[in-house]
Structure 1
Amino acid sequence: MSGVRPATEADHPEIVALTNRAFRQTGPQASWNVEDMIAGDRITAELLRQDLADKPHAHLLIWRNEGGDHLGHVWLEPADAGTWYLGLLTVRPDRQGRKLGRALLGAAEEYARERGAARMRMTVINRRDSLIAWYLRRGYQLTGETRPFPYGDDRFGRPTRDDLAFVVLERAL
């Protein structure tokens, strides 16, 4: 897939802007899978820099088309014993419906596989039924594990409901 490469610091402003647009923007231009149960920004430049500094083995990949347009990005992180964590999979809302998310997911899985990954793991907010179903159609399975939502930590936004948690999905590569 043309244009998938490790992001540089120069890419960070676009990554932050697209992440917030795709995850939190509501209205007619919103993504089909917006996190409308959380208000505020999904990420800030400071938080992204801190995450990269705290996790030096993580890979933040950016996807650009041949014209240089930022189509999407994804976070990959080696976890343990051949399992990698996938997060922040983001595609431009105005380009959705063209199977770009599928293509970016496949490229991310291949990138991790080439670096020794045997399994991919992720967490998704339990109330994002459409997104969970999308990952299930891509071969991911619910593990039965849940993780608590970080209530009181507004770094990723402010939840507007009190029943949020994360479900864990996993897929063999």
Structure 2
Amino acid sequence: MELVAAEEKDFAEVVDLANIAFRKTGDGASWNVESAIAGDRLSASMLREDLSSKPGSVLLLLRDEPEGPLLGTVWLEPKSEDTWYLGLLTVRPDQQTRQLGRSILAAGEAYARERGAKVMRMTVLNVREALLAWYLRRGYSLTGETQPFPYGDDRFGTPLRDDLEFVVLSRTL
């Protein structure tokens, strides 16, 4: 298994995985689905725009074999000389018992550290208690900062609650 940078040819598979991992409900749903938001989490155009407009950013893909099915992803984005942002950490729901999330997180942190990162930051939807607890167990801390949820921006889905915001987490690498 190894992480490799996503290319345009991977976008459809990445979008499918993100939308299943973040938003699928019912049979086969992830343990940490974003049930407070309906609709898609990601589109190929959003992914393309983010990669082209954020210099140094990379979306890493995890596969068992080079041409095997996509198992997980992690987005890494330099914010300053020593601070990086981590997002879009996904694992295929039927593979979550393999502890791939931990492996992808560690590999993403190592990737950023090799490029000078000393601090990793991320945002998590405030109502995703199980996911927040998972990151806290991995050494991340709540910073006390919040960021508004983009109500009215259909690119992020349809919120089903009016109390959503993002909390910021940080970890020294």
Shorter-chain TM-score tier: over 0.9
Name the SS for the 1:20 alignment partner: helix
Q: What residue is the counterpart of 1:80 in the other structure?
A: 80
Write the mapping of 1:21-40 to structure 2, written as runs, cut at 5 A.
Answer: 21-40=20-39
What are the residue-to-residue correspondences of 1:97-108 with 2, within 5 Å? 97-108=97-108
Equivalenced residues, count? 172
The 1-side partners of 2:63 and 2:172 are apart by 27
Aligned-partner Cα distance in 2 for 1:13–1:68: 15
Q: Which residue of 2 aligns with 1:140?
A: 140
RMSD: 0.9
1 CA distance for matches of 2:101 and 2:125? 18
Which residues of 2 match residues 50-129 of structure 1 at below 5 A?
50-66=49-65, 68-129=68-129
The aligned counterpart of 2:150 is 150
**Residues 81 and 116, structure 2, Cα contact 8 Å, conserved in 1:** no
Give how far 1:47 is off. 1.1
Query: TM-score normalized by structure 2?
Result: 0.97
**Secondary structure in structure 1 of the residue aligned to 2:117:** coil
**TM superposition shift of 1:57:** 1.6
What TM-score, normalized to structure 1? 0.97
Supply the distance in 2 between the matched residues of 1:141 and 1:37 (Cα, whole angstroms). Answer: 23
- Counterpart of 2:98 in 1: which secondary structure? coil
**Separation in 1, partners of 2:103, 2:138:** 11
| 1:130 to partner: Cα distance | 0.3
Q: Which runs of 4+ in 1 moved over 4 A?
A: none
Q: CA deviation at 1:69?
A: 2.2
Q: Does residue 4 in structure 1 map to residue 16 in structure 2?
A: no
Structure 2 Cα separation of the partners of residues 154 and 87 of structure 1: 19
1:46 Cα offset (Å): 1.0
Matched, 1:47 2:41: no
Contact 2:5–2:60 under 8 Å retained in 1: yes
Alignment partners' CA distance in 1, 2:24 and 2:34: 8
Q: CA deviation at 1:53?
A: 1.4
Tell me whether 132-141 or 65-74 shows the greater mean CA deviation.
Answer: 65-74
| Structure 2 portions without partners, runs of 5+ | none
